[in-house]
Amino acid sequence: MGTVNIRDTAQWASLLRAEPLRPLLVHLNGDTTWLLQLPIPPGASRDDATRTHFNLLIDPWLQGPQSDVAAWFSTQHHIVTPAVESLAELQAALRGLQPTGTSGTAAADGATSSYIDAVAISHEFTDHCHKATLLELPRNTPIYAADVAADLIRSWKYFDGDAVITAPGLGRDVAWTSLSHEKLPAWLRVSRLITPGNSLYYHSALIVAFGGGSGGSSAAPAEAVVYSPHGISAADVAALPSSGLSTLAMMHGLHDVRLFMMKQLNLGALNAIEAVRASGATYWIGTHDEEKTGKGLIAPLLRRTRYTLRQAVAHDENKRRKNGEETKVKYDFRELASGDALLLQ
C-alpha cells in the first residue's frame, strides 16, 4: 500500500480503520518528528472505549529555531514546512479522526482530553528535545527519554513529577516484557539500545516494542520499531531477536554527516543497510535528512555526504561479494515527505 498525506483526513482515517489494524507511521516534518499510531490489541484495557490506537509522538520539533549550547554556537531552522504548525493542531486532527459522535473534548464524560498518549525522546539535543514544542503538551503526558534528555526535561519543572521517565536499557537476552512500562499499557514498551563506548550516546536507538494481547504475550508475535536518527551498529540491532522481538521497521537516515574531521554524527546509508540486514527489518524508513538552514560556530564545520539508496546498495553488494557473503537483503525502503503516512504491514 502506498502513502497518503494526512492533510487528506479521509484517507488518513481509512488507513487507521483498514483491517487488519496495523501500525501507522506519520512524518510530521521534513526531518525527524514522527507520530507512531499503534493499534490497541483486542482485550486490552483502555480509558476511552472509542479509542482504537495509541499515539506515540517521537522527537517533536515543529516551529521556531533550535539551538544547542547558545545561539552563537549552533542554531538551525526547518526549510521544509511541518505538516502541523503546533501540537494543538495535531491534537485537533487526532480528535477529528475519532468515530462520529465522540468529541474527546472533556475528560469528565469519559472521553479523551489529550490524543497524544506518550512521547519518546531519543537525545537531549534540541532538534530532538525541543522545549517550546514539548511545553505545548499537558503536564501529565508520559515522556520516555534518554538519560540526559530526561534530566533536562525534569529541570524545566513543567511536567508532573512522575511524568518524565528514563527509558530503560534493552540488552542482549533481556526479554522485552521484563522492562518497566510505567504509565504505558501492558502491551507496550519504550526502551533504549546504545552502542557501547559511544561518546555522547549519539549512535543509539529507541526501541518501541509492542505485542498482541493485554499482557504483551499472546500468540501474536511481538514487533519493534527501531528509531535511530544518528545510526547504530548492526551488531547491536542483531541482538533484538534474543529479546523476543521481530523488527517491523528500522528508521535510519541516508546522509553521512560529520563535524569537520573530528566526529561522524549521522552514520548514513552505508551503515544503515548493514543495520537493516542485521535487524531483519521489513521496512527501512529514512529519517533526519532534512538539510536545515544553520548559523553559528558549528554550521560551517558540518560536512554532509548525500547518499542515495542506489549508491548504498551498490556499495554493500560490492563489499559482500568480495567477502563471499550473500548480497541480497529484503526490505521495503521508504522516504516519507512531511505529512506522509505509511501503514506498516
Q: Is the pLDDT of residue 120 over 80?
A: yes
With bands split at pLDDT 50, 70 and 90, how would you rate the model's confidence at 100?
low
Distances (CA, A) of 117 to 37, 40, 142, 167, 343: 10, 12, 7, 16, 19
Give dist(CA 298, CA 277) in Å, integer: 33
Q: Which of 247, 259, 252, 218 is nearest to 335 (CA)?
A: 252
Grid coordinates in use for 234?
548492526
Question: Residue 275: is it exposed, middle or buried by C-beta count within 10 angstroms (0-12/13-18/19+)?
Answer: buried
pLDDT value at residue 103: 46
Calculate mean pLDDT across residues 302-323: 90
Q: Is the pLDDT of residue 72 over 80?
A: no
pLDDT value at residue 196: 67
Radius of gyration for the alpha carbons in the chain, expressed in angstroms and rounded: 19
Q: Which of 205, 199, 203 is nearest to 170 (CA)?
A: 205
Q: Read off the pLDDT of residues 21-44 as tens digits, 9 standing for 90 and up.
A: 999 999 999 999 999 999 999 888
Minimum mean pLDDT among 31-45, 160-174, 178-192, 284-298: which range? 284-298
